[in-house]
């Protein structure tokens, strides 16, 4: 029997997670599950309720006083997807260079399609910084990202968050009061936190993940610390170890643990600090021997991924390439082939020269978009249940049209402003991160992409 050459046909994938959710709830896509049918409803149905929105973890309790979104005008609530798309396009055309729209990788496709830049939180903040001519920066992401954009943009630029209810449960897991209380307790164990030894090192250097409030970044800046991203966490930890005997890493325990472990720090020297327990739930002895003190925080989206899902992907797809985000639990990172930031995942897929099957452990909107943009590959989310980031999903094209048309009228809606008392030390912590360079030959941070120039 002679061999037959088979040409694989590109897979057609709808990049819209919302379309998939609507089909699941309508019963026309029975082979797929959604974590809650409430995701099929528009986010303004939940704006008046306290909480992170449909799809959030039951364990994620939103802090009292968190921002709430007021009622969206009826004309935007009743407009169709196509009508909203046309209104957004027309408003952007009218505004021209006066506005820059930024879209995070995890935003729904119906929003990302209108973004001038797509990237992770720090890439987008840098994109905002590179457009001093823009009067307004519309940040389609979550609250801490808009704060960071305000920190790095010009004083005359307005940063707008289309839905004020788009917060972040991980960022909320480390409040400024809890972090300051932790710092005071650590001072009782280590003594003067600013005292340098003969080598010029202090007892503890605080390191905060970008996914934290401006207040937390300000705390870090005031106390000799630094900010990190999932792309440059190793370089930042190296910077911190040069200046301190140990690191207090918050709010995401998994990024801290996975990064420090890869650097050779033993797990027994990474005690957990739970702010709801006396002395963080650890001991003086454990703290004395610590190299990295991990805050008891996590990303609810990335905590959904499991070793069982990795094993199932390998069993059903021999030769699959498994890539997960470093916010995933250590066991999942260890079971995967690779781990890296959202931009690392994007670049890994786009750099694959042969048709490949990818199982990806990160937010489903990015995974679906990558699958649609790279039909030569088979790309799927490790979690078979469709469950987008609940707070990213609060940004809807209805809100985007509303704030953009407000700008056309000369009205700035939902402006995010960081007080100067917080902004100055927070910028210092960000500047330290920018100044921390990886060793020659190692690149930790990837540049952001312009839509139409390689952005996913």
Phi, psi of 394 (to 5 degrees): -70, -20
Please report which helix (H) or strand (E) contains residue 338, including its range. Answer: strand 338-339
As given in the structure block, the two tokens for residue 143 are: 């609250």
pLDDT in tens, 240-254: 999 999 999 999 999
Burial 350-373 (b: 16+ CB within 10 A, else e): eeeeeebbbbbbbbbbbbbbbbbb
Contact by Cβ (8 Å): 392, 365? yes
pLDDT in tens, 276-289: 999 999 999 999 99
pLDDT in tens, 370-383: 999 999 999 999 99
Contact by Cβ (8 Å): 388, 39? yes
Confidence of residue 30 (pLDDT cuts 50, 70, 90): confident
Distances (CA, A) of 393 to 167, 256, 408: 10, 26, 25
Contact by Cβ (8 Å): 144, 211? yes
User: How high does pLDDT run on average in the chain?
Assistant: 93
Whether 440 shows a pLDDT value over 80: the answer reads: no
pLDDT at position 442 is 66
pLDDT in tens, 223-242: 999 999 998 999 999 999 99
Q: Which residues contact 100 (CB under 8 A, 6 or more apart)?
A: 116, 117, 127, 128, 131, 134, 136, 137, 138
Phi, psi of 101 (to 5 degrees): -105, 125
Whether 453 shows a pLDDT value over 80: the answer reads: no
Taking the complete model, does pTM exceed 0.85, yes or no? yes
Q: Which DSSP symbol is given to 205?
A: E
- Which stretches of 134-187 are assigned E, i.e. beta strand? 136-140, 158-160
Contact by Cβ (8 Å): 12, 375? yes
Distances (CA, A) of 37 to 116, 141, 313: 31, 22, 25
Whether 396 shows a pLDDT value over 80: the answer reads: yes
Cα separation, 389 vs 301, whole angstroms: 6
Cα separation, 163 vs 395, whole angstroms: 6
pLDDT in tens, 101-128: 999 999 999 999 999 999 988 889 889 8
Confidence of residue 10 (pLDDT cuts 50, 70, 90): low
3-state DSSP assignment of residue 250: strand
Whether 443 shows a pLDDT value over 60: the answer reads: no
pLDDT in tens, 346-360: 999 999 999 999 999
As given in the structure block, the two tokens for residue 219 are: 């705390």
Closest Cα to residue 83, out of 402, 412, 392, 409? 402
Place of tokens 């797929």: 32
pLDDT in tens, 297-312: 999 999 999 999 999 9
């Amino acid at each position: 029997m002679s061999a037959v050459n088979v040409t694989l046909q590109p897979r057609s994938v709808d990049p819209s997670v919302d379309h998939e959710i609507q089909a699941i709830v309508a019963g026309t896509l029975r082979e797929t599950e959604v974590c809650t049918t409430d995701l099929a409803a528009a986010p303004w149905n939940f704006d008046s309720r306290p909480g992170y929105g449909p799809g959030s973890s039951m364990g994620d309790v939103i802090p009292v006083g968190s921002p709430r979104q007021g009622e969206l005008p009826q004309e935007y609530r009743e407009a169709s997807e196509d009508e909203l798309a046309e209104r957004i396009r027309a408003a952007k055309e009218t505004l021209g260079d006066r506005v820059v729209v930024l879209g995070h990788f995890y935003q729904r496709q119906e929003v990302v399609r209108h973004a001038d830049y797509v990237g992770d939180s720090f890439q987008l903040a840098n994109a905002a910084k590179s457009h001093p001519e823009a009067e307004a920066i519309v940040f389609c992401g979550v609250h801490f990202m808009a704060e960071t954009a305000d920190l790095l943009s010009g004083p005359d630029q307005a940063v707008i968050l289309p839905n004020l209810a788009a917060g972040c449960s991980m960022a909320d897991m480390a409040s400024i009061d809890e972090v300051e209380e932790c710092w005071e307790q650590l001072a009782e164990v280590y003594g003067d936190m600013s005292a340098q030894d003969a080598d010029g090192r202090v007892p503890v250097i605080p390191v905060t993940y970008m996914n934290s409030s401006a207040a937390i970044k300000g705390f870090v800046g005031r106390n000799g610390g630094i900010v990190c991203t999932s792309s440059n966490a190793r370089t930042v930890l190296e910077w911190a170890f040069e200046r301190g005997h140990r690191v207090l890493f918050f709010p995401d325990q998994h990024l801290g643990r996975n990064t420090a472990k890869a650097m050779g720090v033993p797990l027994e020297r990474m005690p957990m600090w739970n702010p709801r327990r006396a002395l963080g739930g650890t001991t003086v002895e454990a703290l004395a021997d610590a190299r990295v003190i991990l805050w008891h925080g996590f990303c609810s989206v990335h905590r959904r991924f499991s070793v069982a899902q990795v094993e199932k992907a390998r069993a059903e797809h021999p030769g699959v390439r498994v890539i997960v985000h470093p916010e995933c639990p250590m066991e999942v990172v260890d079971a995967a082939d690779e781990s890296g930031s959202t931009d690392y995942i994007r670049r890994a897929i786009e750099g694959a020269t042969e048709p490949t099957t990818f199982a990806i452990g990160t937010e489903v909107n990015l995974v679906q978009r990558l699958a649609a943009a790279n039909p030569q590959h088979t790309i799927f989310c490790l979690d078979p249940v469709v469950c987008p980031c609940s707070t990213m999903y609060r940004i809807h094209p209805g809100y985007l049209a509303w704030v953009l048309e407000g700008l056309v009228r000369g009205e700035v809606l939902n402006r995010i402003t960081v007080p100067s008392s917080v902004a100055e030390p927070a910028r210092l912590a960000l500047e330290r991160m920018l100044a921390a360079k990886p060793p020659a030959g190692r690149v930790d941070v990837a540049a952001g992409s312009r839509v139409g120039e390689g952005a996913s």
